[in-house]
Structure 1
Amino acid sequence: MKIRKLFIANRGEIACRIMRSCQRLGIEVAVGYSDADAEARHVRLAPVAARLGPAPSAQSYLNQEAIVDAALRLGCDAVHPGYGFLSENADFAARVEAAGLIFVGPRPETINRMGDKSRAKTAMIAANVATVPGGAEASEDPDRIAGWIAEIGFPVMLKPAAGGGGKGMVVLEVPPKGDEIASAIRTARASFGDGSLLVERLIRSPRHVEVQIFGDGSGNVVHLFDRECSLQRRHQKVIEEAPAASHVPQAIRDEMIAAAVRGAEALNYRNAGTFEFIVDENGYYFLEVNTRLQVEHPVTEEVTGQDLVEWQLRIASGEGLPMVQDDITCTGHAIEARVYAEDPLDGFRPSSGRVTATIWDSTARCDLGLDAGDYVSPFYDPMIAKLIVRGADRQDALANMCAAVDRSNVFGIATNLGFVKRLCSHPAVIAGEADTRFIDRAEGLMPADVTPQDTAWAAAALAVMQSRISARGGPLWERAGAELVLDRAALDPSAPLGRLALYHKGKPRLAQLVARQEGSATVSFDEGSPVHITFAAQGAVISGNCAGQVWHAHCQRTGVELDFDGLRLEFNTIPPARDADLSPTCKSPLPGVVVALAASVGDSVRQGDVLVVVEAMKMENTIVAPLSGTVAEICCTVDQQVVAGQVLVEIAPDTEG
């Protein structure tokens, strides 16, 4: 192979994934990192790593000069951009090639032509390919965008022209009442360096289907079948599968695959690419071309048996296409779930912090970006891992995904694992009826009442008690002999093995440990019926089953973090402090960057009014007034980095009774 040493210009799970293929192929690797990632998993796994800059991606993972300099300094002869960051940046690809390095991806001119949604749409219209109704021109002028919206009519979608991965897309069902347009421009500019937006008619209930292609740059193109990515939240993919669900007619699938191959041939395409389409009852529409490896590439690998990163490296080395079309087959069904650091019970708010423990299903493919002890930074995308399962058919694969989620967990931060299980077990998903707006409108994906029931309280109590037994070598009365056990039982027959006070969101419960055997226990609360629990330790994590529901627990000094049938619950062993009076200070709930201020000193505000917008993990978080009053002080500025708990605004409360 021509490539001897590869510089991976990315981070997280994709950097680790690329390393696996390189190791198998005998290619040396080097990686770059930001200050926030100095101890990250991809840095630990790489033989050599180079600092790129401070934590913000604009100063590190988007720093083209630093990346190329590091690749040359470390003796690399090629650069792999992964996905996101600079993977679809034509200037970066050209800079890499100008430095005498191999760019593992399409030619710069192809990226330039297809990486911009406006130019890509224009090219497809000229080629008589069906596109989504709406203009092909993009702008970051709010007034022009508002004019296009008025011309097209509602509903419309605002799409970043330079974007990808669903980031920054905004749906408007009615005329905007606030700063929706300005917010979309800000998000696009912050994420992609270009705030230009396209305005298109919203296709009401589409399916999202894409075709994986490879070209050798000499006019030869093959496809590796299709994928479906219809299960999305806010246009960000959550579940991907290959091949597409059976409800997409075979005739339409064949036409899309043929169109993708023709389009790639017309572009004289080189390396990996994905042609994306949306499908409704009227047919299909070209959406965009992703000129890079996709996040969801593992499902294609699982059904074809091919290593797509190896294909990329071989084509970049000048070897041509590894296989001809007739030799590429598709067998079975594969499903991938993106594991995000976010809390579904709190509006999917991003969750940063230290990961204290992890469990991953040993029967699933787990593409990981972190280990226990790693810190999830607020500076980057919240995806921390991917779970990939196979099945003989789609139903089998869905069942395997639910089982894989039951056997996986991440502690210290919130994740969407429980949400994934509820999604994959939903009747509409099982029936293949879900479209791209299913998650946004479906009911029952998250429980309305998240108050823990007796079974969850019992699992938490058992986990705390078991953790203490393990730490101390057994409770005093167990080590003192049978006589003391009998005396204790006589004194407290309802809790012969002890009692434990627990608190959840301030609510106290007193648990009684009735009995404990090897691998099981019985716990009761108050006058409630005893609950029987099975348990087993997996390193720092205690797992078990309670009333048919799977639970995992990780104990800490002051309590226990419990995953109970996909719900993340926290129980404390010390009583909570008394609630303070409503504070006039407005604080940031998480670390991030201030991207907008919606008030000025002296403004009158009502409780709930938006004051500040903080971006963290590519998501805008609105900070609202905690009470009504007058803005007394603004303690932050736009573009300022803030930490969790930092005061942003001071309110002088209204004094009227």
Structure 2
Amino acid sequence: MLSKILIANRGEIAVRVIRACQEMGITSVAVYSDLDRDALHVRLADEAYSLGGQTAAESYLNTEKILEVIEQCGADGVHPGYGFFSENTDFARAITEKGVTFIGPPPEAIEVMGDKVSSRIAAQEAGVAGVPGTTEFLQSGDEVVAFGEEHGWPVAIKAAYGGGGRGMRVVPSAAEAHSALESAQSEALKGFGRDECYVERYLTKPRHVEMQIVCDSHGNGVYVGERDCSAQRRHQKLVEEAPAPDFPEETRRAMGQAAVDVALACGYVNAGTVEFLYQDGEFWFLEMNTRLQVEHPVTELVSGIDLVREQILVASGEPLSFSQDDIDLRGWAIEVRVNAEDPAGGKFIPSPGRITDLSVPQGPGIRWDGGYMAGDEVSQFYDNLVGKLVVWAGTRDLAIARMQRAIREMTVDGIKTTLPADLAILGHDDFKAARHSTKWVEEVLDLSGVTDVVDPAAAPGEGDEPEEKVRRDVDVEVNGKRFSVAMWVPASAAAPVAGDAGGGGALRPRRKGTAGGSAAAAGSGSVVVPMQGTIVKVTVAVGDEVTTGQTVCLLEAMKMENTIVADKDGTVAEIKVEAGQAVNANDVVLVIE
């Protein structure tokens, strides 16, 4: 059995793995960037080591630094979580070559299934049909045009090594093919370190149904039921549930067996998810995620199986603790993702900032998997997932009602979140009747009246407390390793932080004003960005004629590309930014006359 596991990740998934380790008597090791020095996963872990840097590339995607920490802390296992290096063959191989256990599939399986093109070939060889698409990486937009002309428009460009909708672009016609490929490659490179893409047919009204599988090193493979993840926007999931509604039992069995066949065909070991598109009674292989999924809690709640614990046991060489006949799914589970995004008008604009208050709901059948607490900062440099609210109930109707109650009971101040959109989804007749598809949120759901108000309370002022000494627990680093020490300092000099055990809790300045928005009036000609981020590309030049709604630059924030558009017709008179430049919310990037 593994004795010390390093979690090569951050946020709620790092917290989830740390908790599993602690329940199993395994020492947990966190790593962190400079921005995450006081993050929840760092505070909860048994040990924590600094990676330095701010961006993901400087920290959580720094292979050399992570390998140094593994050597330094003596970990005998590494859990990659999801995202970052979780589906990176080179990272998995580097771990195993050090004699350290990678808690995931063998590098060879990641190589086959982590690449969406080779996974399609592997699925076909296992007798599982996929959506029509290319089996070679795209070299130019001309290949997208040729595919679209043959199979019909629209088509979907996808990052071969990506996931979560990043690096994916839906192309409605030949005219957009070249720019869409360039955009997909750019986003894929930033998110996954590789820019290879492929193209496939884009189904009109499919449901996204995925099958959870677990395989051990003894040749056993089991499917643990399906999840419906059709409520999406920008091809990223908002609401997930298990089991899938209005889903025939014979289809469930066929899809489950297909998922196991695909996994065993590539020598897969550990937990994984095989994703399918389901439409009009048929299903097609979409891709395989060679890692734990964000939405794994709904499967855990209906099956009673701790998937992270099972991952660790399998990685330690143990056989599966259950067989296919042992799987007994009970009740219904629903998960909503609480992202730091402003859903107003269906725009889902990233909303980084400091969480001034976070109060989670309570009551029967409620679970909160979070990566933040009140006082913590949600940075523009990382994923925008604050946490996952999950409920279980005996029936789907009761699960929906319980989730609606839980959302209304939950408080998140300081940032805007997707909770109002989640509530709108759950309350819609189409969702209740399982008539929704992967395009339903963007094409049918009306979010024009959805708002999420940020608490505008001012930062607390200076008090008149007498000068006294108080205890402050602070974190220091010695040779890169994190230690907690107690200090007694004058109250006026104390700066309490999240996790401060000695000074009355986590007192941080509250975020003033509202997140997002625009400082300039619509149609003023002063084009502003609604959030912090980095300019990826300026698509116009001084002197160009532009029209209202035309893209003038691309902004990357929270690992997503966002288009910034002209607010009126006119001529570009001034460009104030360039590619690679960091900007703040409401900065003017371009002037139109």
Whether the TM-score (by the shorter chain) exceeds 0.5 is yes
Ranked by relative contact order (alpha carbons within 8 Å, sequence separation 6 or more), the top structure is: 2
Among 575, 579, 590, the residue aligned to 1:634: 575
Which shifted more, 9-18 or 227-236? 227-236
| Contact 2:122-2:262 within 8 A present in 1 as well | no
What residue in structure 2 maps to residue 345 of structure 1?
A: 344
Partner of 2:359: 359
Structure 1 residues without counterparts, runs of 5 or longer:
453-459, 472-538, 541-554, 562-567, 571-576
2:309 and 2:247 mapped to 1: Cα distance? 30
Q: Which residue of 542, 546, 552 corresponds with 1:601?
A: 542
Q: Which of 519, 528, 533 is the equivalent residue of 1:592?
A: 533
The superposition leaves residues 232-290 of structure 1 with CA deviations (integer Å, 9 ceiling, x where unpaired) of 11211111111111x12221111011111222222232111111111111511011111
Q: In structure 2, what is the equivalent of residue 400 of structure 1?
A: 402
Q: For the residues of structure 2 that align with 1:264 and 1:557, how far apart are their CA atoms?
A: 47
User: Counterparts of 1:266 and 1:587 in 2: how far apart (Å)?
Assistant: 51
Cα deviation code 1:495-542 (max 9, x no counterpart): xxxxxxxxxxxxxxxxxxxxxxxxxxxxxxxxxxxxxxxxxxxx99xx
Q: Which residue identity lines up with residue 265 of structure 2 in the other structure?
A: A
Q: How many Å apart are 1:451 and its aligned residue?
A: 12
Q: Report the TM-score, using the length of structure 1 for normalisation.
A: 0.77
Q: Distance in 1 between matches of 2:61 and 2:452?
A: 43
Report if the CA contact (8 A) 2:240-2:334 is conserved: yes
Look up the equivalent residue of 1:231 and give its one-letter code.
A
The secondary structure found in structure 2 opposite 1:389 is: strand
Question: Separation in 1 of the partners of 2:7 and 2:45?
Answer: 10
Q: Is the 8 A contact 1:360 1:366 kept in 2?
A: yes
Give the length in aligned residue pairs: 544
Question: Could you tell me how far 1:109 is from its partner in structure 2?
Answer: 0.2
Look up the match of 2:291. Answer: 292
Which letter does structure 2 place at the counterpart of 1:151? E
Partner of 1:120, secondary structure, is helix
SS of equivalent to 1:288: strand
The answer (yes or no) to whether the contact 1:273–1:291 under 8 Å persists in 2 is: yes
Cα distance change, pair 327–448 in 1 and its aligned pair in 2 (3 A): closer
Matching residue's letter, 2:392: R
Relative to structure 1, the CA distance from residue 581 to residue 588 in structure 2 (aligned partners, 3 Å threshold; closer, same or farther) is: closer
Cα distance in structure 2, aligned partners of 1:422 and 1:187:
29
Aligned-pair distance for 1:115? 0.4
Q: Distance in 1 between matches of 2:512 and 2:71?
A: 50
Distance 1:293 1:582 in 2: 46
Which residue in the other structure is 1:121 paired with?
120
| Aligned counterpart, 1:212 | 212
2: CA distance, partners of 1:279 / 1:610? 34
> Displacement, 1:142?
2.4
Q: In structure 2, do the counterparts of structure 1 residues 632 and 435 end up closer, same or farther at CA, with 3 Å as the change threshold?
A: closer
1:571-586 residue pairs with structure 2 within 5 A?
585-586=526-527
2:155 and 2:170 in contact (8 A); partners too: yes
Q: Secondary structure at the match of 2:321?
A: coil
Cα displacement (A) at 1:187:
1.6
The corresponding residue for 1:17 is: 16
Amino acid at match of 2:225: F
> Are the counterparts in 2 of residues 155 and 202 from structure 1 also a CA contact under 8 Å?
yes
* Distance in 1 separating the partners of 2:581 and 2:237: 30
Q: Which amino acid aligns with 1:438?
A: W
Q: Specify the SS of the correspondent of 1:36.
A: coil
| Runs of at least 5 residues in structure 2 that lack an aligned partner in the other structure | 464-503
After the TM superposition, which of the residue ranges 227-236 and 309-318 deviates more from structure 2?
A: 227-236
- Larger mean CA deviation between 222-231 and 368-377 belongs to 222-231
Contact 2:29 2:46 (8 Å CA) reproduced:
yes
Q: Equivalents in 2 of 1:376, 1:450: separation in Å?
A: 20
Deviates more, 1:169-178 or 1:290-299: 169-178
Supply the distance in 1 between the matched residues of 2:172 and 2:523 (Cα, whole angstroms).
36
Task: Give the 3 Å change call, closer, same or farther, for CA 218–449 of structure 1 in structure 2.
Answer: closer
Aligned to 1:141: 140
What does residue 484 of structure 1 align with?
none
AA aligned to 1:196 is: E
Q: Shift of the alpha carbon at 1:158? A: 1.3
Letter in 2 for 1:277: F
Cα 1:631–1:431, aligned 2, differ >3 Å: closer, same or farther?
closer
Q: Secondary structure at the match of 1:611?
A: strand
Q: 226-235 or 297-306: which moved more? A: 226-235
Q: TM-score, normalised by structure 2?
A: 0.85
Alignment deviations for residues 90-114 of structure 1 (CA, whole Å, 9 cap, x no partner): 1100000111211000000000000
Mapped partners of 2:98, 2:516: distance in 1: 52
- In structure 2, relative to structure 1, the CA distance for the partners of 1:632 and 1:113 (3 Å cut) is same
Give 1:608 shift.
4.5
CA distance in structure 1 between the partners assigned to 2:93 and 2:356 by the alignment: 42
Residues 404 and 284 (structure 1 numbering): CA distance in 2 closer, same or farther, change over 3 Å?
same
- 8 Å CA contact 1:134–1:152 kept in 2: the answer is no
1:603 Cα offset (Å)? 3.3
- What residue identity is the alignment partner of 1:115? G
Change (3 A) 1:329 1:337: same
Counterpart of 2:339, as a letter, is Y
Measured after TM superposition, the shift of residue 621 of structure 1 is 2.1
CA contact under 8 A between 2:425 and 2:445: conserved in structure 1? no
